[in-house]
Structure 1
């Protein structure tokens, strides 16, 4: 609530700043605030939706259930129940052939768990407010109901695409994504520079690292080389983040953690294994610059660490054969932080991974 009060108090400044520097629009009403962001690039699959009570990334089925729940809630009364939402989802699945391949059965606990995860995300985004009941008990049995208030003013603002999905006629997946976020292409000098500035700032605000020169188009790189000090200064003043400006790229480091979805280091087995792997891959990058590290090499390293820390890691992470699942989780985290990038047969360690080496060589961290 305090954050919302501050947003309303500084609403005009925030609207102007986001529009000018990122091309994003900010909608503020008496009841909610919604920032309509356009992603810097469309193929990042590493930071999927998740509810705070369920740390599992959304699967394809959870995304579908989330969208179907929104479809039902748009036409719902002021209150609804989890059971009503579930029955509405089933009706849509049965009526539309495009959902024929989606397995969803309320008699199945996994199906109910996925529906609850979708509803929890709606609650956390203030589209629903739980009035009575416990959704975890619904997972155990569909006879346990949960009552919600429906906040239509939020539901109407959740969709952030520039074009309604139903109006997209393209069939190719990438073309459909592009159509949802398509922006007018302005070719005059000043307007073109504005679009480039938006592209760069979106990368710096949304993504962990902007690597140079590979992450920018030729035009954007030329613009950035001229405007680099100014762009960095504007972002530093507006965000209060720590700017890490290096030869290999730029990152905005979140000093308080309230803008971070995945941290490093983090507590727990997954966090510890990720930190150890980051240090290991940093050493390999020095020894084998530009080389793809095979997944099997990482799995072997994880297996060795599991034996070393078997007294401290959770039991299912130290059992024989568990290194494959843990390696996949660790690499997902490192990829989400843009410390590695996937390649055929393995991963390519990126320059920012050297932040997690114990011994930093001067040539690796020297600023531009």
Structure 2
């Protein structure tokens, strides 16, 4: 399907797949950042990688010697992939800072940048309150841009809460690569998101492949009818394609497709995981599934009261197993479990409002068992035989004593 890839030898093909996986994980790859040692290999295979991403996913790839930028686009309503350090106000400050940096030059003092960002906020109608929460949000936005390499702390440290001055250097090349959408064609934020998410000529195929690459579970019920019909007929061919070009393994089920990374490199949220919230979420799944019959699409209707009750039963049944700090506020515990299951794609609001939530059929993949229960297919350990006589036992007529 990818002519340039088919012409590669086995070693180069394996390296191209490795580079593609790195770019999926690090859409902005810099020599100074994580996995930056692979940037020379990405540059060497840039023509193949650009064809792979353009043909298969409709993504645009820009490769320079100092950086590589994969312009990934997806669903605007997906709120499960946010930056943990950024609040909604922090995201607003990221956008305002980017707009300010475009006309500020290559170096600027922190105090001037902060003043210009707040002036841009006032011009855009964003209310600014010079309080600790607002300063933390602006600091988080600036620290995020430092982590991306867009701004560098030449002298001092970026911290709006501090009165110390700092000199900031702007990487204008990286700055110009951050925004993926066509700004000149968009008249509103919604139009920008819609335009950025558009696929190429093979619109339906690329949109479905994006879902398969970016989401661990793609349910037919969550796709438009045309896309769902196409995927049902192409699931085997698409599974081979994802394995060949991205090293992903697909499992076909009646409700949809599950895509896994055997190396867990592309897994941004590991589950089951450590901690009280993750373990309670895991143990709650079987009970939540048992409390309602599945709908025709395999999803289980769920009431918030059921989730609250199941979490309470788990906490009360095994009080010594949990962190006291995590369980002392039960309402906050339930919110944390709900948020985790939502980020995993296992729990979502019911758009028809017939139930509070809908539990994905993918929840059946986790069925924890007590440690004393043998794993399926594993024979129980045989009972050891009593020890026989030893050459060093004292012998009597009745045997060893």
- Partner of 1:352 in structure 2? 362
| Candidates 158, 173, 179, aligned match of 1:159 | 179
Bigger Cα displacement from structure 2, 284-293 vs 11-20: 284-293
- Partner of 1:363 in structure 2? none
Distance 1:130 1:256 in 2: 35
1:164-207 deviation per Cα after TM superposition (whole angstroms, max 9, x unaligned) = 1x64335xx755632454467xxxxxx5xx22210110110112
Distance 1:300 1:358 in 2: 19
Distance 2:212 2:252 in 1: 11
Secondary structure class of the residue paired with 1:303: helix
Gaps of 5+ in 2: 1-35, 370-401
Q: Relative to 1, partners in 2 of residues 1:86 and 1:310: Cα closer, same or farther, differing over 3 Å?
A: farther
Bigger Cα displacement from structure 2, 330-339 vs 216-225: 216-225
- Partner of 2:24 in structure 1? none
| Candidates 211, 217, 232, aligned match of 1:203 | 211
The answer as to 2:99 corresponding to 1:64 is no
Bigger Cα displacement from structure 2, 202-211 vs 223-232: 223-232
The answer as to 2:139 corresponding to 1:104 is no
Distance 1:211 1:88 in 2: 46
The answer as to 2:359 corresponding to 1:324 is no
Shift of 1:269: 2.7
- Partner of 2:186 in structure 1? 168
Q: Relative to 1, partners in 2 of residues 1:127 and 1:211: Cα closer, same or farther, differing over 3 Å?
A: same
Distance 1:78 1:309 in 2: 58
Q: Relative to 1, partners in 2 of residues 1:274 and 1:134: Cα closer, same or farther, differing over 3 Å?
A: farther
Q: 1:310 touches 1:318 (CA, 8 Å); kept in 2?
A: no
1:114-129 aligned within 5 A: 114-129=137-152
- Partner of 1:234 in structure 2? 241
- Partner of 2:49 in structure 1? 14
Q: 2:249 touches 2:259 (CA, 8 Å); kept in 1?
A: yes
Secondary structure class of the residue paired with 1:292: strand
1:1-368 aligned within 5 A: 1-39=36-74, 41-50=75-84, 54=85, 58-94=86-122, 96=123, 98-99=125-126, 102-105=127-130, 108-135=131-158, 138=159, 141-161=161-181, 163-164=182-183, 167-169=185-187, 177-182=193-198, 194-212=202-220, 214-284=221-291, 290-308=299-317, 310-311=319-320, 313-319=322-328, 322-343=329-350, 344=353, 346-358=356-368
Structure whose CA Rg is larger: 2
Q: CA RMSD in A?
A: 2.7
Distance 1:4 1:285 in 2: 50
Q: Relative to 1, partners in 2 of residues 1:88 and 1:314: Cα closer, same or farther, differing over 3 Å?
A: farther
Q: Relative to 1, partners in 2 of residues 1:314 and 1:77: Cα closer, same or farther, differing over 3 Å?
A: farther
How many residue pairs end up in the alignment?
329
Q: 2:288 touches 2:306 (CA, 8 Å); kept in 1?
A: no
Higher-helix-fraction structure: 1
TM-score calculated relative to the size of structure 1: 0.80
Secondary structure class of the residue paired with 1:5: helix
1:24-63 deviation per Cα after TM superposition (whole angstroms, max 9, x unaligned) = 1100012111111221x3321222223xxx3xxx332111
Q: Relative to 1, partners in 2 of residues 1:17 and 1:180: Cα closer, same or farther, differing over 3 Å?
A: closer
TM-score calculated relative to the size of structure 2: 0.74
Q: 1:265 touches 1:272 (CA, 8 Å); kept in 2?
A: yes
Gaps of 5+ in 1: 185-190, 360-368
